[in-house]
Structure 1
C-alpha cells in the first residue's frame, strides 16, 4: 500500500486511479445490465473491451541511461537524453564491453543479450515531475492522425499546476503556471505555438526533418533537438517552423506538473527559464525572412507573440529595474502612464478569476515578480554571456527533494535591497513633495516586504544569508596524495577502444608498437 504524502499524491490517486476505477466500474454495471436484459454485444465490441483490460493492466517498460554507453554523447543537458534515444530507435545493437564501458554496435544478429530499440511514428515525452490524465495520448494521437493535421509536428496540453499546495509560494507560482495555460491556447489561435517541454506528442518524421549530424570525440552525434540553450523545447519550435511544420496546443487540461515548493528551488527553475530567449531571436528573424521570401502569410500578431515569448523576460527585467531606480518626478509619472498599465492588470485579474484564483492575487504576483527580479536578471545575463563566449551551460535541474533548497546569497540579498531602496525613495520624495513617485515607491516597498515574508520567510532568509556569508570559510577537504607505486604495472593500451572509436586518447603509435613487441 502506498501512502499519500502530499497534494500531488492525492491528485494521482483521485484523478488517475479512481477515475479509471470509476470508469471500469460503470462499464461493469452496464455489462451486467445487458446480461439482465438478454442483449448480445457484437464480437468486435467484446474484443475491444477485453483488449482495454489487457492494455490497462499489462505493460512493458524499460530503462535507458545514455551515459552508460561510450558510443553516445555525454553532454550534461536534457536535450541529449532525447537525442541519444531517438537516434537509436528502430535498430538492434550489440553491446561490446571494453575497459571504460560499453559500446553499441548495430547488428542484424538475433541474440537475447542485444539491445533492441523499437521504432514508432509518434513519441510521447514527459518530465519526471509531471502527470498525464488517462485520455492524453488517445486524444492527441487522434488529433495528429487527422488528414488536415499531417503537417503538425508537435501537439501538447500546456501543463497546469496541482491544486491544494501547502506553501504560499507554491500556490502563487502555480497561479502563474495556470495563467500560462490560457496564454498558450491564445498563441495557437494566432499560429505562434511554442513547444512547452514538460509533455508532448511528437511526430518522429518531423524530428528527422530537422536533425543535424556531427562528429564529436570519435562518435556520431545526431541532434534532433538543439541543446545550444537550456530551453531546448523553445529553440526546437523555431526549427520545426523553419521546415514548414506546425505546433498545436490541445484545448484541454490533460497534463499537470509540480511547482517548486520553496524559494530556493524556484530560483533554479525561473533562472533557467530566463536564460536562452535572447539567443534564439536570431533564428526567429531568419525564419521570418525565409517565410516572407517565399511569400508565405505571416501575421504581425504572430511575430509580436513570438518575439514577446522569447524576450519579454529580458525587457521586463530591465524595464522594472529602470522604474525602481530612476528618480523621475510628477511630470513623467502622469495619470496616462498609470492608466496604460491597467489593461495588463485587468486581463491578469480576469485570467486569475477564470482559473479559480482571487483577482486580488495580481498584487501578490507583482510582489512575487519583485523578489524574482535578481533571478530573471541572472538568467538574462547568462544568455548574454553565452552569446559572447559561445559556450553551452549544463542543464540546471529543478530540485525534487523533501527538504528545503537554500538560495544563493545574491538572490536573498537583492530583495532586501529593493525594499531598503524603495523606503529610501519614499523618504527622499516626501521631503521634496514628489507625491507620485513616493506613492509608487511605497507600493513597491509594501508588496516586496510582503513577498519576502510570505514566499521566502524570515527564518529561511536569515539562514540563507548566514550560509552565503560563511560559505567561503569552509574548504572542502581533499584526499591526501598517495605516493605513486613505481612498481605498479602501466595501464595497458585498450585495443578494443582503438578499433571501435579510434585514437581519441592520443596514444603514440610508437608506444603501442613497443607494447606489442
Structure 2
C-alpha cells in the first residue's frame, strides 16, 4: 500500500469516527407524559395526500371510511369543519367505529353555500346519535367574514332546529372580547394555538392551561371546550415558537395528560397532515398527529426520538466516505491535509443527507418543489467548487512543497543555446510603449535569438512607421512585419509570424507589446527544453504600473493571486493554463498541435491545451521575468476578463469531449480533472453565483408582497458556507503565497468580486454567440482622456437591489423568523460582488483613487498629533501604497 493511501485511510478513519460521534452526540431523546387511552378528539379532514379541497375537490365515501379507520385507534371523537363535499358522511361512518362527532357548518360570504352547510349539519345531527355538537362557522369573526351580530343570528336559527349543543369556533381572545357571543352559544369552542402567538415550546402547555383558566374566570359556569390545540412538526419559527417533530410530540402528549387530569375537554388540530395547506405559511401542512400517509408521527408512550435521525446519519456517513474517495488518488499527502479534505467531504455528505431527509419527510409541492429542485441543481456545482477550494487550501496550507515548480535558475549560459524566435504581435499600440518592449528584448542575455514585431490591422502609419524605423536601428535580429489586413485577430498575425520565423529557431517566445522583459528570461528558462519531452515553459504575467492608482494596485494584486496560487498548484499536475505572454513553446510541439488557431479568442490557452493533449510536458515558474501594463480603466479590466471567460467557453466547447476517458488524447486522469474542475471553479461558480443572486432578487417581491415563504435554511446556509470558504481560501492562500499586504489583499478581493457579473455574462454569451470579435484591452493611457460612462451600472442596480432587499426583509421580519434572516443575510452576501464593481466604478472617478490624496490626508492627520511639526508632516512619503 502506498504511503499516501495509508495516510488517506487513517485520516478518513479518524474523520468518519468524529463524524459518527457528532451525529450520536446530537441525537435528541426527550420524555413526555404518556397518553393513557386515546385523545379526546381530533379535527378531521378526510382528503387524500394529493387532493386539494380548496379547489372544490370533494372527498369520497371510501376515503372517509379509510381515514376513520386510521384515526379510530388514537381518538374518541372527530370534528369536521364543513358538511358539504362529502364531509356530510363523516358522522355516520364515524359511528361505525364507535367515534363521536362534532359536525361543522362552514360559514363565509357565500350565503347559498351557508344554507347548504347548515342544512346538512342539522341533517347529520338528526340522523346520527353520535353527533355531540354543531359548530356554526370557524373563525368567521376573526376573518371578518361575519360580524358578531350576523353570526349570533345564524347560531340562534340553528339552535331553534336542533337539540344538539350549538356553538362557533373562534380564537380565545375573540371569546374574551365578545361576551354577547358567549351568551348566544351552548358552549365556548375556543381555539388555543400558542404557535401563532410565538410562545416557546417549553411554555406552551402552561400558557394554554392559563388561557383556559382565564376563560373560566371570565365566564363561570359556562362549558368550555378547547376546540383547537396543536403544534406543527415542521416549518419556520415564529418568534420563540419553533416547530419540530419532538416539540410537537412533547407538547401534545403533555397537554393531553394535563387536560385529562384537570377535566378539560379538548380537540387536537389535526388528525392528518394536509399537504395542500401551503397557503398557511410554512407550517400549514404539518399540524397532523398522523402524517399524510396516515402513519402516527410519534408514539403515545415511552421516550421520543427523531424518527429518521438514524437513517439520515447513516446516509451522511456513507456519503462522506464516498466523497472522500478522490483523496486516495492523491500523492504526497500529509495527515492534516487529508483530514481537512475528508472533513469537508463529511460536511457535504451531512448536508446532502439532510437534503434527502427533507425531501422524503416534507411535503414539497407545487411552486415549492420547483424552487427546491432549481436550488439544488444550482447549489451542487457551488458545493463541488467548495470542495475543490478546500482541497487547494489544505494542499497549500498543510501539504508538501511543490516539486515541479521551476526555481533554481542557472547562473551562467548553458553549453547549448538553441535559437529562440520572439514574437510580439501589436494592434494600434502606442509606439513609445512598444519601443520600451523592444529595448528590453535587445538587452536579453541570450546570444541566439531573433525578434519579430507583427503589426496587424493598423492602417494608421503613426502607429507602425516609428516601430519600423526603430527595428532597423536595433539591428538584424529585429524583423518588422506589417499586415494591413489579416484575418483571425492576434492568432492570424502569429500564424504569419510562424511562416517568417527563422528555419533554425527551436523555441518560440511570445510576449505582449507592452511587456518589458528581464535580461535573464531566456537564460534561466530555455535550458528547461533540454528535456525533449517539454513543450511549454510559462512564466507569470506581472505589471509595472500598479502605482498609478488604488484601482490599479488592486487589479495587480488580483492578477498575482492567480499566478502565485492557482498556476503553482495546477503545475503540480502538469495542467497549467497557457498565457500568450511570457510563454516559451517548442516549435515542434506547436507544429504538431496545428499552430495558432482562430477557433477561439483565447488562442494562447487553446494552443497550450492542444500541445498538452498530445503528451508534451509543460512547466511553470512563479519568478517574474516580465512586466506589462495594466488595463487603463475598469471598463478595460472588465473587457479583458470578458474576453478570457468567453474564450474559455469556446475552449470548453472545443475540448470537452477530449476530457472524457476515451477522448483520444494523452491527457492523464489528473490533467483531465484539473482542467475540468478548473473550468467549473472559475466559469461555473461565477456564473451560477450571479444567476442565484439574480433569481434571489427576483424572488424578493413575492416574499415581501405576497408573503410567500423564503427558501429553507438547507438552501441558504450552503450559500453562506460557500462564501465563508471563499473568504477563508482567499485570505489564507494570499497570506501563504502572495507577497502583499493586508490592505492590498482587500483591494484584490474587491477586484476579484467585481468581475463576477462580467464572467457570468461571458458564459451566457458563450451559449448565445458562436464567435465574438477579439476585444483589445486598452493599455498605456492611450485613451486616458476619453470621456467614459459609469462602467458598472448593471452591477450597481443589481447590487443595490440585493442589499436594499436584505435590509427590507430584515426590517419587516416582525416575527424573527430565522429563515427570513438567513435569506436576508444571503442576499447581502450575494450583493457584495455587484457592489464591489460599483465601488471600483465610483472610485475610478474619485480623487480617493489617487495615492497622493491618501498621502495628503495622512500628512494632515499626523500634523494634528501633539509634537508633530509641519515640516515633519510634509516630509512623509507621497506614495501611500509603500
User: Partner of 1:81 in structure 2?
Assistant: 493
2:557–2:740: 8 Å Cα contact kept in structure 1? Answer: yes
1:179 shift after superposition: 0.8
What is residue 138 of structure 1 aligned with on the other side? 523
In the superposition, the TM-score normalised over structure 1's length comes to 0.61
Deviations 1:52-79 (A, max 9, x none): xxxxx985343433425xxxx7115111
Deviations 1:215-260 (A, max 9, x none): xxxxxxxxx1111111101111221123222221134222223221
Distance 1:20 1:279, change over 3 A: closer
Query: Of 46, 59, 65, which aligns to 2:481?
Result: 65
Q: State how far apart, in whole Å, the 2-side matches of 1:169 and 1:176 are.
A: 11
Distance in 2 (alpha carbons) for counterparts of 1:314 and 1:452? 21
In structure 2, the partner of 1:257 is 628
Deviation track 1:91-133 (CA, whole Å, cap 9, x = no partner) reads: xxxxxxxxxxxxxxxxxxxxxxxxxxx6411121110122221
Residue 247 of structure 1 aligns with which residue? 618
In structure 1, the partner of 2:507 is 122
Q: Which residue of the other structure, out of 217, 229, 244, is the alignment partner of 2:600?
A: 229
CA distance in 1, matches of 2:615, 2:495: 21
Contact 1:154 1:202 (8 Å CA) reproduced: yes
Structure 1, 278-287 or 397-406: larger mean CA deviation: 397-406
Whole-Å separation in 2 of the counterparts to 1:181 and 1:446? 24
- 1:452 pairs with 2:822: no
Does the 8 Å CA contact 1:229/1:393 hold for their aligned counterparts? no
Residue in structure 1 matched with residue 588 of structure 2 by the alignment: 205
Could you tell which deviates more after superposition, 272-281 or 366-375?
366-375
CA RMSD of aligned residues (A): 3.7
The DSSP-based 3-state class of the residue aligned with 2:577 is coil
Give the distance between the partners of 2:712 and 2:598, measured in 1 at CA. Answer: 48
User: Are 2:800 and 1:413 equivalent residues in the alignment?
Assistant: no
Per the alignment, residue 97 of structure 2 pairs with none
**What residue number does 1:428 align with?**
808
Could you tell me how far 1:446 is from its partner in structure 2? Answer: 6.7
Gaps of 5+ in 2: 1-431, 446-472, 700-709, 848-882
Q: Which protein is bigger by CA-based radius of gyration?
A: 2
TM superposition shift of 1:287: 3.0
Q: 2:825 corresponds to which residue? A: 439
Conserved? CA contact 1:352–1:358, under 8 Å: no
**Residues 1:357 and 2:740 aligned together:** yes
1:132–1:256 contact (8 Å) kept in structure 2: yes
Is the contact between residue 352 and residue 359 of structure 1 (CA under 8 Å) also seen in structure 2? Answer: no
What is the rounded CA distance, in whole Å, between the counterparts of 1:60 and 1:263 in structure 2? 40
Inter-CA distance 459–293: structure 2 relative to 1 (3 Å threshold): closer
2:236 is aligned to: none
| SS at 2:611 equivalent | helix
Contact 1:156 1:199 in 2 (8 A): yes
Residue aligning to 2:547:
165
Bigger relative contact order, structure 1 or 2 (CA pairs below 8 A, ≥6 apart): 1
| Residues 1:375 and 2:761 aligned together | no
| Mapped contact 2:574–2:671 kept (Cα < 8 A) | yes
For 1:363 and 1:79, how far apart are their aligned partners in 2? 36
Give yes or no for the alignment of 1:298 onto 2:298: no
Q: Which residue number in structure 2 is paired with residue 307 of structure 1?
A: 676
Residue 398 (structure 1) aligned with residue 778 (structure 2): yes
Assess if the C-alpha contact under 8 Å between 1:291 and 1:298 holds in 2.
no
Count of matched residue positions in the alignment of Structure 1 and Structure 2:
363
Secondary structure at the residue paired with 1:121? strand
What is the SS of the residue equivalent to 1:89?
Answer: coil
CA spacing shift, 1:288–1:443, aligned 2, 3 Å: closer
SS of residue matched to 2:492: helix
- 8 Å Cα contact 1:161-1:175 kept in structure 2: no
- The 1:378/1:289 distance shift into structure 2, 3 A limit, reads closer
Q: Distance in 2 between matches of 1:303 and 1:408?
A: 42
Does the 8 A contact of 1:350 with 1:359 survive in 2?
no
